[in-house]
Structure 1
Amino acid sequence: MLVLWCPDWPAVAAAMAAGVSVHHPGAVFSANRALACSAAARAAGVRRGMRRRDAQSRCPGLTVFGVDEGRDARLFEPVAAAVEELVVGVEVVRPGLVAVPVSGAAGFFGGEVRLVELLLDHVSARGGVECQIGVADGLFAATLAAHRSALVEPGKAPEFLAPLSIAELDQPGADRTELVDLLRRLGLRTLGAFAALTERDVVSRFGSVGLLAHRLARGLSERPPNRRRPPPELAVTEEFDPPLDRVDAAAFMAKTLAGRFHAGLAAHGLACTRLGIHAGTERGEELGRVWRCAEPLTPQGIADRVRWQFEGWLRAGPQGRPSAGVGWLRLEPEETVEGRSLQLGLWQSSQGGGLGDEQVLAAERAGRALARVQGLLGPEGVFTAVLDGGRGPAERVRLVPWGDPRAPESPSEQPWPGRLPAPSPATVFEHAVPARLMDAAGERVGITDRRELTAVPHAVAVADDPPRRVVDWAGPWQVDTGWWASGGPGVRTRIQALLDSGVAVLLTAQSEKSPQWTVEGVYD
């Protein structure tokens, strides 16, 4: 297997999309943690997993980018196309990493060394990015070889992997952080030490996840070579009238098509690990790409890859962009495995904490109804709420389109100094309502230099309503926002007040010296 790797691709793609030089310090952050950084940022001390504040303190000129998988896939399409011009059978493992079988191409070009030289020159000229190439037995060993620009002799993968750190098992998308931490605590520091264990001991201690990692450490393939060949009728084809020429329309279509494709595989007890995406335009142009995934693809994973591929096709440069809209699309399972992950629903139903049959059916009916409404209003017409971390009630709720991943961007379980205590308001206003907080003399209640109220709250007048007497109150809670906040530096003060009408309100002051009180929310 030959693997071509573009180092720091998320950071490189983000810089290219923003028009920033790839040689400028930059990093991609998610949930306030660095996911990838450029070589210049790494030279300044920025590392993966570092907090944003720490990274900016080490590199004040650091350019901060957000995560955008569609952007990464779209900009990587020219690189994959450049590889495909020389070698057939290109498989996109993830944006920034492609794999191709090496035997036929090496024989055609006169050896592996000559093939590597041609690919490096061709991709640099056509794709305009730096890349590294590695050759070894199996995708995992070839990927690590690409990180080191190494050509491993056939049959020598175990010797190549043996001295490498056990942390190499935790590749992007593999989610083996807990396993790697456990192996380190047990004293297994290298892949060779882990590979020396017997399969029986690994399975009894670490389960199926450990067995897969053990196969990789031994230089074997992720799955046994006797994989099932998918029946031809499992391919799904869809024609479009009018043809698709917008990414948002393609993204919406991909969700429905991915559901049909996944359901057909599940009916045969299969799951897809290599997905073929093929399309044709009105003018007879045919497009195709194969995506490889280490784990069986879910409906959302299939839809994401279709959307990424359409972004790469429809937003490519003038030379790589199709000359007409896409008239048909076909999804083909290039490789399948036993659908072990399909047992998840049955397992959940049989456990006390899972969903029962009635709840599962109700969830499916609700999902179909929301999809129908989304079909009428468009992809951005239906939203669901995700609970995020934050200090105020409005900050903790984020709306995501129906069908998109509902993963939180910031962990809610982390300590948030100044967070409002439970319970949260039942109603949170999109636009704060003006209010006046008065003391017993009718004067406005302010905030002292010690960030305390200047007087005991006695009455609250909301908008143009007459004042209502304050029966009880709690607070204040202050949040000191720094220069990095969207609204700039300042102090936000919150108090809870129970009025004589039986209504409790959450009052917020935005300024410290001359506070203007507003009603942020109302309690039941």
Structure 2
Amino acid sequence: MADVKPAPQPVRVMLVWCPQWPVLAARMIHRVPTEAPMALVAKGAVVACSAAARDEGIRPGDRLRQAQHRCPDLVVLQHDPDAEQRAFEPILRAMADVVPSVHLVRPGVAAVRAGGAARFYGSEARAAQELQIAVRRAHPDGAPEVRVAVADGLFAAEQAAYQDVEVVPPGGSPGLLADLPVTVIAEAAGDPKMANVLRRMGIRTIGALAGLPREQVLDRFGASGLRAHQLACGLDAPILNPRTAPDELAARIVLEEPSDAIEVIVSECGSAVEQLSARINDGSLVCTGIRIITHHEPGPRESAGEIHEREWRHPWHLGAREILDRVQWQLTDLGKKSHRPITLIEIAATELDAAVQHSQGLWGDRPDDHVLHTLTGLQHRLGYDAVLVGSVVGGRMLHERQAFSPFGQATPDRAVRRLEQPWPDTVPGPAPSVVFREAQAMRVLTERGTSLSISDRGVLTGVPTSAQWPGGVSGRITAWAGPWPVNGRWWRRAKTDQKPLHRFQLVDDHQQAWLVLHAAGQWWAEARYD
């Protein structure tokens, strides 16, 4: 029988848990309405979902296709733990203001040692209350549900938070855990398979596991079994690593006099932006995203002025000049919406990478400086949104597969482009070279000179022989293929009484190929092959 070392003395831990933090963070970042059903996915499976999605029958672990079948209007976002941690930073800083040495368990869960906080505030319950108040104030949406729990050890404190138990008295953790299934403690011990063995042995609860001799558990399950037994007995002495919150790379520009003159405001920002850029460079970092917040002077009957916020992302990196350009563009757009003078501007770096990851390759990885200068100059003259860059995204219809973004803005990532998705009813083979911005009306005629149509069952009323192409030019049809029904979003078509949509490929007597659409007796040219 293996020798068992004496168990360590338990450590009192105070834990903060924000339920459904991945969903809350994604909702804040992407500004998804609260009532919209939303799911976070990773590797084709649902990782977390909102309450509205749960009402539709969606659960974590569901396959994406299964979830979309249950809720066609589901908002699908990629699970991004890094973004969730960035969104959790304000809460960590708020916790550090109340109790120092905060330990980050994972985004949405953090812990501190309870002993010092209890001595300072007079009791564990009072310290937990102060921590809860600080977290709710730090949360942008007021954090309607924040739970703080105190227990012996990190594991018991987290389970107490799940059960909405605020303070578990010293030595009371085994009673709190006794009725929980062994699957919970097996995962915490790092050996999920242990739960199956325990259940086959008739041990189904943590209380039953705690009643076994520790030496026998060690002999049967090894180090993971010993760890599970210690957790079950409330003998948890976790090592809480104090986390030093990184300095926020931000600039705050308070204008001496409220102003709405763009040139004056940009000039005022120049020195602060230069210092911010220097601090980023000194940290061997590259900034690829910023947040610009403008505070406006209140009106005669207003207690507080308007606040406008905008996120900017860049495909390469944002230097001082690029940041000032975006300040100018944002102020130009604001001039169309708000006429109140600006009193304060805040600029914060939101996306940072190591500089080594952005080192230039042998052949370069960004446009030539002359090209950058020319296109940026055009944006200053014509407007930020006047110079666009195209990219291909996923979609059924050809016009849905085009996405345009202003030059200097990061192109859509894989999660947004969704090119890897199957997209049924798309056009196979080489894509057309010319896609019309709006489908152009045309006619397709049979051998009798009558207009060709398609029945609801997809049957042609004749053979396509000639056509009147866009622009009024008539010609013969030398080859054709189709029809192919487009069945995407059939549930919406049924609600709106829309007619079925079919695709054709036609070749005229000048060897020009066309991609055309037919719906409700009308023909449209969607694209042309050159």
TM-score class, shorter:
0.5 to 0.7
Indicate if the aligned counterparts of 1:281 and 1:328 stay in contact, CA closer than 8 A: no
Distance (whole Å) between structure 1 residues aligned to residue 99 and residue 341 of structure 2: 25
Q: Does 1:403 align with 2:415?
A: no
Q: Does 1:492 align with 2:493?
A: no
Determine which of 458, 471, 482 is the counterpart of 1:475. Answer: 482
Q: Does 1:329 align with 2:329?
A: no
Q: How far does residue 360 in structure 1 lie from its aligned partner after superposition? A: 2.9
Q: Does 1:343 align with 2:356?
A: yes
Q: How far does residue 420 in structure 1 lie from its aligned partner after superposition? A: 0.6
- Which ranges of structure 2 fall in alignment gaps of 5 or more residues? 1-12, 171-184, 193-220, 228-237, 299-303, 305-315, 327-339
Q: Amino acid of the residue matched to residue 133 of structure 1?
A: V
Q: Amino acid of the residue matched to residue 163 of structure 1?
A: A
Match of 2:392 in 1: 387
RMSD (CA atoms): 6.2
Aligned partner of residue 475 in structure 1, secondary structure: strand
Q: 1:40 to 1:502 in 2, by over 3 A?
A: closer
- Which ranges of structure 1 fall in alignment gaps of 5 or more residues? 154-158, 167-189, 197-217, 286-297, 308-322, 350-355
Q: 1:109 to 1:428 in 2, by over 3 A?
A: same
Q: How does 1:431-470 map to 2 (within 5 A)?
A: 431-463=438-470, 465-470=472-477
Q: Amino acid of the residue matched to residue 398 of structure 2?
A: P
Distance (whole Å) between structure 1 residues aligned to residue 432 and residue 447 of structure 2: 26
Q: How far does residue 520 in structure 1 lie from its aligned partner after superposition? A: 0.7
Q: How far does residue 468 in structure 1 lie from its aligned partner after superposition? A: 1.2
Give identity over the alignment, percent: 28
Indicate if the aligned counterparts of 1:139 and 1:221 stay in contact, CA closer than 8 A: no
Aligned partner of residue 362 in structure 1, secondary structure: coil
Match of 1:163 in 2: 189
Q: Amino acid of the residue matched to residue 386 of structure 1?
A: S
Q: Does 1:131 align with 2:146?
A: yes
Q: Amino acid of the residue matched to residue 494 of structure 1?
A: R
Which deviates more, 370-379 or 445-454?
370-379
Match of 1:170 in 2: none
Q: Amino acid of the residue matched to residue 522 of structure 1?
A: R
Q: Amino acid of the residue matched to residue 500 of structure 1?
A: D
Aligned partner of residue 399 in structure 1, secondary structure: strand
Distance (whole Å) between structure 2 residues aligned to residue 379 and residue 491 of structure 1: 40
Determine which of 517, 522, 529 is the counterpart of 1:523. Answer: 529
Q: Does 1:505 align with 2:505?
A: no
Aligned partner of residue 395 in structure 1, secondary structure: helix
Q: How does 1:55-454 map to 2 (within 5 A)?
A: 55=67, 64-65=74-75, 87=98, 97=108, 106-120=118-132, 127=142, 129-133=144-148, 162-163=188-189, 238=253, 261=276, 264-266=279-281, 269-270=284-285, 325-329=342-346, 341-346=354-359, 349=361, 356-357=362-363, 359-360=364-365, 362=367, 366-367=371-372, 369-401=374-406, 402-404=408-410, 406-408=412-414, 409=416, 411-454=418-461
Match of 1:27 in 2: 38
Q: How far does residue 436 in structure 1 lie from its aligned partner after superposition? A: 0.2
Q: How far does residue 129 in structure 1 lie from its aligned partner after superposition? A: 0.6
Q: 1:19 to 1:413 in 2, by over 3 A?
A: closer
Distance (whole Å) between structure 1 residues aligned to residue 422 and residue 486 of structure 2: 13
Q: 1:442 to 1:393 in 2, by over 3 A?
A: same
Indicate if the aligned counterparts of 1:235 and 1:331 stay in contact, CA closer than 8 A: yes
Q: How far does residue 131 in structure 1 lie from its aligned partner after superposition? A: 1.5
Q: Amino acid of the residue matched to residue 121 of structure 2?
A: F
Q: Amino acid of the residue matched to residue 503 of structure 1?
A: Q
Distance (whole Å) between structure 2 residues aligned to residue 139 and residue 242 of structure 1: 52
Residue deviations 1:132-173 (CA, integer Å, cap 9, x gap): 2367999999999966779999xxxxx99842578xxxxxxx
Distance (whole Å) between structure 2 residues aligned to residue 487 and residue 259 of structure 1: 55
Distance (whole Å) between structure 2 residues aligned to residue 56 and residue 361 of structure 1: 38
Q: How far does residue 331 in structure 1 lie from its aligned partner after superposition? A: 5.2
Match of 1:174 in 2: none
Aligned partner of residue 515 in structure 2, secondary structure: strand
Residue deviations 1:275-320 (CA, integer Å, cap 9, x gap): 999999879x9xxxxxxxxxxxx968xx99xx9xxxxxxxxxxxxx
Q: How far does residue 390 in structure 1 lie from its aligned partner after superposition? A: 2.1
Indicate if the aligned counterparts of 1:386 and 1:407 stay in contact, CA closer than 8 A: no
Distance (whole Å) between structure 2 residues aligned to residue 2 and residue 363 of structure 1: 54
Distance (whole Å) between structure 2 residues aligned to residue 118 and residue 450 of structure 1: 68
Q: How far does residue 471 in structure 1 lie from its aligned partner after superposition? A: 2.4
Aligned residues: 403
Q: How far does residue 35 in structure 1 lie from its aligned partner after superposition? A: 6.3
Distance (whole Å) between structure 2 residues aligned to residue 373 and residue 426 of structure 1: 27
Indicate if the aligned counterparts of 1:27 and 1:38 stay in contact, CA closer than 8 A: yes
Q: TM-score, normalised by structure 2?
A: 0.55
Structure whose alpha-carbon radius of gyration is higher: 2
Q: How far does residue 90 in structure 1 lie from its aligned partner after superposition? A: 12
Indicate if the aligned counterparts of 1:82 and 1:127 stay in contact, CA closer than 8 A: no
Aligned partner of residue 115 in structure 1, secondary structure: helix
Match of 2:205 in 1: none
Indicate if the aligned counterparts of 2:445 and 2:451 stay in contact, CA closer than 8 A: yes
Distance (whole Å) between structure 2 residues aligned to residue 325 and residue 471 of structure 1: 65
Q: How far does residue 89 in structure 1 lie from its aligned partner after superposition? A: 7.8
Distance (whole Å) between structure 1 residues aligned to residue 99 and residue 376 of structure 2: 38
Aligned partner of residue 391 in structure 1, secondary structure: coil
Q: 1:477 to 1:134 in 2, by over 3 A?
A: farther
Distance (whole Å) between structure 1 residues aligned to residue 472 and residue 129 of structure 2: 77
Aligned partner of residue 108 in structure 1, secondary structure: helix
Indicate if the aligned counterparts of 1:27 and 1:34 stay in contact, CA closer than 8 A: no
